[in-house]
Amino acid sequence: MKRVFIGLAVAAAVAGGAALYMGTASPAAPQSTFVLLDGTRKTTADLKGRVTLVNFWATSCVTCVAEMPKVISTYEKYKGRGYDTLAVAMSYDPPSYVVNYAETRKLPFQVAIDNTGAVAKSWGDVQLTPTTFVVNKRGEIVKRYVGEPDFAELHKLIEKLLAEA
């Protein structure tokens, strides 16, 4: 009986957590300051009014590098419709590597370096890369992907969110 109860409690907790990202009670994106490669700053508040993909990545992450062309094409496809991408390099990624990667791959979106790890910590203690968040126009996290997203599913979600008032 005890095992059944614990199993149900775990299932309820998992289901409750899943609901957070299914539009019923989307959590607000955490207050963060992103330091961009050009030295300027962007805050979480700056994300409001646009659908934004916040992608935590590293130049040493094979999956991150493999998915980057898809992240770029997604940005190119939707940028004119109120969509943005913010790539956040992890604190262990040498800044010179990040700058070189962004320049040689001509990343068309903003890239930030999380020098202290504070941004990753505030976004749920992100440690695995890639970890990607989809933030709606109201500044709420509606989806979190750990690993490469299913880009067809991601595109459907982006289109749905762009259509919202």
Contact 32, 43 (CB under 8 A): yes
Among candidate residues 102, 126, 100, the one with its CA nearest the CA of residue 114: 126
Structure tokens at 30: 């955490």
pLDDT tens for 100-121 read 999 999 999 999 999 999 999 9
What pTM, to 2 d.p., does this model score? 0.85
Q: How confident is the model at residue 76 (pLDDT cuts 50, 70, 90)?
A: very high
Per DSSP, which regions of 21-148 are E strands? 33-35, 41-43, 51-57, 83-89, 110-113, 131-135, 141-146
Q: CA 32 to CA 86: how far, in whole Å?
A: 12
pLDDT at residue 65 tops 80: yes
CATH match of 28-163 with 3.40.30.10:
yes
Rounded to whole angstroms, how far apart are CA atoms 38 and 110? Answer: 9
Percent of the chain surpassing pLDDT 90:
84
